[in-house]
Amino acid sequence: MIKKLSKSGSSYSLTITKTMLEILGIDPKNDFVELRFEGEKLIVTKVKNKQQENE
């Protein structure tokens, strides 16, 4: 998927659609994500909380 960055104040943002969130199993109101770089790639990963790890 190719996305264009959007201007947001003095920064740029990447919109993550509802469909993308559903595919990743991310609830934007309650979950956190980890951002990391691998070479020129930006990797977004859902952070599992302690309660989820025990299920």
Q: How many domains does the chain have?
A: 1
Task: Tell me the two tokens of residue 52.
Answer: 């989820």
What global pTM score does this model have?
0.68
Q: Are 36 and 43 in contact (CB under 8 A)?
A: yes
Residue that the structure tokens 């991310």 belong to = 26
Residues 10-43: pLDDT tens digits? Answer: 999 999 999 999 998 999 999 999 999 999 999 9
Band of pLDDT at residue 51, cut at 50, 70 and 90: low
Residues 6-10 have a mean pLDDT of 95
Q: Give residue 1's pLDDT.
A: 85
Instruction: State residue 52's pLDDT score.
Output: 57
Establish if 1 belongs to a structural domain. no
Residue 36 within a domain: yes
- Full domain range(s) for residue 28: 6-53
